Amino acid sequence: MSDVMIEAQGLTKRYDGVLAIDRVSMEVRRGEVLGFLGPNGAGKSTTMKILTCFTSPSEGSAKVNGCDITTDSIGVRRSIGYLPESTALYQDMLVLEYLEYAAEIRGLAGADVRKRVKVVVDETGLGDVIGKQIRALSKGYRQRVGLAQALIHEPPILILDEPMSGLDPNQAVEIRDLIKDIGRQRTVILSTHNLTEVQIACNRVLIISKGRIVADDTPEGLRDRAGKSRCVVNVLGKDSALALACEQTFAALSGIERVRKLEDAGDGELSFEIIPKTDEDLRPLLFKTAVDKGYTLVGLRREGQNLEQVFRELTTGSDKPSTDARDPRDTRDKAAA
C-alpha cells in the first residue's frame, strides 16, 4: 500500500482565460497534517475544489487514495471527508437526525449507521448537543457537526477549507485541538491563511501565491531556511525629520539589506526593522552608529524570522504574473481561492 495519499501533477485552472492556479504539483503522505497556506485569492480553494471533484482542472492530473479525479470521481469522494468554508447544514434537523442522514447518503445502513454516529459524536465532542436543533448551536458546535459529517464514512483523508473561519478565539482553539487529534489517524489538508493555525496544528506547510506553489517545508524548516535574523531598533523621539535621518543612516551601513520603519512604538519612540544581507549580528554596529549620531537608543534586539515574516517574504513582491481569479459561477467563494 502506497504512503502517498494525494498526488497532483501540473494542476492548472483557467476561468474565462484567466489563471486561477498554475501548474500546481504536490504529494501528501499518509498521516500528514498539511497546512495549505496562502493569502486570499492565491488559489487555495480552487485547488481544494479540484481535489474534491467539485470542479475539473483545465490541465494536469491528480490521484486521491489511488483514484483518478477525472476517471474515478466516485472513488475520490468515498476516500475524502470534506468540510467547506461555508458548511451546508440543515438548520431544522436535530444533530442526531442530521448525522444519521449523512451516514445514509454515504451508503451506510442499519446498525452501521448507529455505530458510526456514536463514534463520530464521541470523536467530535457532540454528546451534550446530540438532541438539539442545529440552528440552536453555537458556531463552534456547528463546525463540530460539520466535522462529524465529514468523518461519518471513515475516510482516510480529510480536506478542511478555513475550518476556523468566523470562530471566536476559544472556539478556534477547541476546533484546532480537535483537528490535531483527528490528524493522528488520518491524512489532513488544512487550507487557511491563518499562520497560527498552521504553526500549531500542522507538521508540513505548502505556501501558494498567485496560483503557484512557492514553498514546501515544515514550519520550523521555513523559518530556518529564511536564515536571516532581523534587528529591531527603538530610538527616542517622534520627529519626522529624525525618523528619516535614522532610516537613511541605518540603510547606508555596510551589510544592511533594507530598513523599514515600523508602526509607532508608543511612549515617544521610533521603531525600525533592519534586515542584514547575511546572518551577521548587527547589534554592535547599530549601537555604535546610534551613539556616534547622537540618537537616544532605548531598545535594540535581534530576532529570528517567524513564520509570518517568511510568509510575507514569499507572497509579496513576487515577479510572478498575477493569477488571482474567481469562478463567475461560484458566488460563495469570495476570493476564488
Q: Yes or no: say if 84 and 95 are a contact pair by the CB < 8 Å rule.
A: no
Rounded Cα–Cα distance for residues 63 and 283 (Å): 51
Which sequence spans correspond to the domains of the chain? 4-224, 228-304
* Per-residue model confidence (pLDDT) at position 295: 94
Which grid coordinates are listed for 87?
Answer: 458548511
Q: Which of 259, 255, 257, 231 is nearest to 245 (CA)?
A: 259
CATH homologous superfamily for the domain 4-224: P-loop containing nucleotide triphosphate hydrolases (3.40.50.300)
Query: In the structure grid, which three cell numbers stand for residue 264, read together?
Result: 509607532
pLDDT along the chain (337 residues), means of 10: 88 92 94 89 90 94 96 95 85 96 94 95 92 94 92 93 81 82 85 80 90 89 70 90 93 91 78 85 92 93 75 65 37 37
- Which pLDDT score is estimated for 129? 95
| pTM exceeds cut of 0.95 | no
Q: Exposed (0-12), middle (13-18) or buried (19+): which is 131, by Cβ within 10 Å?
A: exposed
How many angstroms separate the Cα of 28 from the Cα of each of 2, 62, 176, 279?
Answer: 11, 11, 20, 33
Q: Tell me, what's the pLDDT at 305?
A: 63
**Residue pointed to by grid coordinates 470523536:** 123
Amino acid, single-letter form, for residue 264: D
- Report the pLDDT value the prediction gives residue 77, as an integer from 0 to 100: 93
Q: In the chain, what are the helix, strand and coil shares in percent, each to the nearest 5? A: 35, 30, 35
Q: How far is CA 159 from CA 53, 136, 190, 333, in A?
A: 12, 26, 6, 16
Question: Residue 274 phi/psi, 5° resolution?
Answer: -125, 120
3-state secondary structure of 3: coil
Helices (H), the chain: 44-51, 73-79, 95-105, 111-124, 139-151, 169-183, 195-201, 219-226, 240-251, 283-293, 307-315
CB neighbours of residue 115 within 10 Å: 12
Pair 83, 72: CB distance under 8 Å:
no
User: What pLDDT score was predicted for residue 175?
Assistant: 82
How many whole angstroms separate alpha carbon 224 and alpha carbon 122? Answer: 39
User: How far from 72 is each of 56, 64, 75, CA to CA, in Å?
Assistant: 12, 10, 5
DSSP 3-state of 1: coil
- Give the pLDDT score at 228: 65
Using the 8-state DSSP alphabet, how is residue 144 labeled?
Answer: H
Distance between CA atoms of 290 and 321, rounded to whole angstroms? Answer: 41
3-state secondary structure 20-79: EEEEEEEEEECCCEEEEECCCCCCHHHHHHHHCCCCCCCEEEEEECCEECCCCHHHHHHH
Specify the CATH superfamily of domain 228-304. Answer: ACT domain (3.30.70.260)
